[in-house]
Structure 1
């Protein structure tokens, strides 16, 4: 779900900034790619708002926005593409530097763990309210181990609603854990081919597993959600390896986004390949934001500044806590149920406002303070 540094989530919130250093002449940040890409923050804002609205889509029944709200779940796919691009960019630039693993994992832990642990503490403090269960039922050793190791998305036991967003966080954490050493050892001629082959394999295998309806996988299993994060990683690898001009990358972004949207709206719609089509479209959109960074047009300004960029900044905290906020203020919802569509829209507005306030307090009072510790894990 990071604060802008070329590096996700539901769910990585360090979006948009890349280290100033480069690696070997064969794999390095191109001269046209700035160290800070503020437009990606706006994309994060769209992603988190899409997820929040999706979790409120019943409230939009009977309005012109209902069917659009049903697509809000795709915000998670956009998070995956962003995370793949940003994390792979960070790893590529850092793999020849000292303290590679210490710096990467420490910075990821500072970004992800504090809010995650805080959420668990809050939910377990009143389990019958926030978990919908008794504490004794939620302290089984398998459940606790799953939360501790970010494996909850692999279990067939449904997650409590307030902890539902952590399934995508678990996928990203698993990916970080395995992808960092692979990038580290994949250098030279071997790495030039190994990384793209591995990523292309994931892009192909994930939809095929979804198509096979493997009975031993649950809907949040990692193996069926890797095409988005793999495409984002492929994008980073391509930008750092291929000496295309910015204009060429922009055209590739246009083609990818149009092709992805067209496939999602036609052949891939309602099939196991819908997520792949969306991943292709989002990869194109991310590439357009990257290639067009700094442009002086209204669309670029919308992504760089204003509400979308702000929601991108607080996106991790909002993504992780919005359902908890909805549950906490559930009693207010009941008072407006009798008002029909008007009452539903008021409830939706209140939920978004309160979730925004909560995420803002979380960012300024908690997250941003902890993130200052990242300075101790930077390559000199």
Structure 2
């Protein structure tokens, strides 16, 4: 298999930058925006994760088969590398919040330590304040627990069917939950109800890895990207016409159309956008911010969130002393983004980057 199929794809860091920025815009917008940018940003991350993880696992499977070894080696390598990349910053953040007695970390510490805050949210129909955004990391970890076994132990000729099955199953589960009047948060945060996003990313990885030229021509046809944007906007518009509250469109179908849009974004970036899009995704600022996007995502909610940062929160107190910034949304966003990037930069150079170098010892 060509090294090109598993090499670093620069524009995907630009996609990470876009995804994390959409989440930040949503959480910092003072409830003025009526477009679910946060939902879309998280969905882009899920599709991107499905793409990257599937690509890694397909490469590992081919190497195992070429060397005549069992998949136990690659399973161990995969989980070690994921642990090195994800756990340090996550658990350090949880530890600091626990020591500082930031609610509700102490009360929900077991849920935090076991990457199951999404399950808590679904069961109790309640967000978790400063740590509510960690639900998406829980979803990804739960996906990582079983998906390598799917790739390694299901014959390759059936993998595409399984990934299509993920998409169908996810939409069907959301529909069943809706029909049974289960709170919308369950449909949003449970891992099985997010599988359409991971499934689309996996399908893209499969065809990318195996150099399917027909799929490449389809994905890189900008007509489909434009159409996916128009359809997504239409779905959001229709949902608002039905109700400003959660409804069948937002609960059952929105993630499906978010995933389609993300599929074309990630796919075009994987095959390399040209023109202005290339400039946006490959400029040094976008690439750097995409590279540290994990830290940006984790820390942003601690720094500020319109929905749960109370009057005694340090950032709120600073903003109260800077009314010109506090009451000017674009300036407020720039200020908060700068603070968050500063925190993520310190984290990247002091914690993440040094620890990530250990992954080289467990390369494929």
| Aligned match of 1:167 | 135
Higher relative contact order (CA 8 A, sep 6+): 2
In 2, are the aligned partners of 1:259 and 1:280 still within 8 Å (CA)?
Answer: no
Unaligned runs of 5+ in 2: 240-248, 305-312
* Structure 1 residue 299 displacement after superposition: 2.3
- Of residues 324, 332, 337, the one that matches 2:318 is 332
In 1, are the aligned partners of 2:319 and 2:326 still within 8 Å (CA)?
Answer: no
Q: Secondary structure at the match of 1:58?
A: coil
1:352-380 Cα deviation digits (max 9, x unpaired): 1111100111111110010011112123x
Q: Secondary structure at the match of 1:227?
A: helix
**Is structure 2 residue 337 aligned with structure 1 residue 352?**
yes
Q: Secondary structure at the match of 1:73?
A: helix
Q: Secondary structure at the match of 2:8?
A: coil
Q: Equivalents in 1 of 2:216, 2:82: separation in Å?
A: 33
Q: Equivalents in 2 of 1:211, 1:71: separation in Å?
A: 22
**Is structure 2 residue 54 aligned with structure 1 residue 88?**
yes
RMSD across aligned positions (CA):
2.5
| Aligned match of 2:17 | 45
* Structure 1 residue 181 displacement after superposition: 1.1
Counting only pairs closer than 5 Å after superposition, residues 124-135 of structure 1 correspond to structure 2 as 124-127=98-101, 130-131=102-103, 135=106
Q: Give the length in aligned residue pairs.
A: 328
Q: Equivalents in 2 of 1:317, 1:343: separation in Å?
A: 26
TM-score (structure 1 length as normaliser): 0.79
Counting only pairs closer than 5 Å after superposition, residues 55-74 of structure 1 correspond to structure 2 as 55-58=27-30, 61=32, 66-67=33-34, 70-74=36-40
In 2, are the aligned partners of 1:115 and 1:317 still within 8 Å (CA)?
Answer: yes
| Aligned match of 1:105 | 79
Unaligned runs of 5+ in 1: 1-21, 23-28
- From the superposition, tell whether residues 345 and 42 of structure 1 become closer, same or farther in structure 2 (CA, over 3 Å): closer
Counting only pairs closer than 5 Å after superposition, residues 253-332 of structure 1 correspond to structure 2 as 254-267=222-235, 269-270=238-239, 271=249, 272-292=252-272, 295=274, 297-326=275-304, 327-332=313-318
| Aligned match of 1:366 | 351
* Structure 1 residue 262 displacement after superposition: 3.0
* Structure 1 residue 113 displacement after superposition: 0.3
In 2, are the aligned partners of 1:54 and 1:71 still within 8 Å (CA)?
Answer: yes
**In terms of mean alpha carbon deviation, does 258-267 or 34-43 score higher?**
258-267
